[in-house]
Amino acid sequence: MSKSAIVTGASAGIGSEISKALCGLGFEVFGIGREFKEPAEGQMFHPIVCDLLDTQRLLQNIKDIAARGDVSVLVNNAGVAYYGLHEELNPKKIQQMVRINLEVPMILTQQLLRYLKANRGFVINISSVTAQSSSPHGCAYGATKAGLAGFSRSLFDEARKYGVKVVTIYPDMTKTDLYRNADFTVGEEEASYLLPKEIADAVSFILKQREGAVVSEITVKPQIHRIKRK
């Protein structure tokens, strides 16, 4: 029986690696992103160009995929981050973080939940370690990721009796372009950052558990904590 997965933010970084991992596990993957600079690898991956903030277009894309009836995995990976003193963030940036990091995952989950129940599937939300503690100079970003984690916990309690597994992954500093809007980036030592593939490995681990066992939360950290100022 065929099975498919939906991954947001699939054009690069963590989302791209998760998509590859899912294809390797036999899923037909529908990856949503604003642009795909490289051609799709293999016949199992289907790039879907869509701005997540264009809700109507996003919903139509999801409706078309869901009509297949075999959606078993939703990975809410897309995220945006703006850092700095909260008083210096403009409202547009705050709204963008709230919408992409929290609103979009909630809407996509709502649209797909009946299919995930039917297929005893997974909702995997990519949060951040900033959701687990205070995040000065990242107050709004941390709040959106904490909101996503809270949504995950409540949704699992709501949907677990239907066989739906809801999982939150909390990555620490990962070598992606998430920090393009920040005045810092990952450290120079390899032990000071994670690679996108390591988050994808966590997704694979989650999906390989026996039916009835759920890894509800995973935190992934580099060995040392160090950042580099730009």
Domain ranges (residues) in the chain:
4-229
Is the pLDDT higher at 154 or at 228? 154
Beta bridge partners of 186: 227
* Residue 10 near residue 34, CB atoms below 8 Å: no
Residues 99-110: pLDDT tens digits?
999 999 999 999
Distances in Å between the Cα of 165 and the Cα atoms of 87, 95, 136 are: 38, 29, 32
Tell me the CATH number of domain 4-229, given options 1.10.940.10, 3.40.50.720, 3.40.50.10480, 3.20.20.140: 3.40.50.720
User: Where residue 60 falls among pLDDT bands split at 50, 70, 90?
Assistant: very high
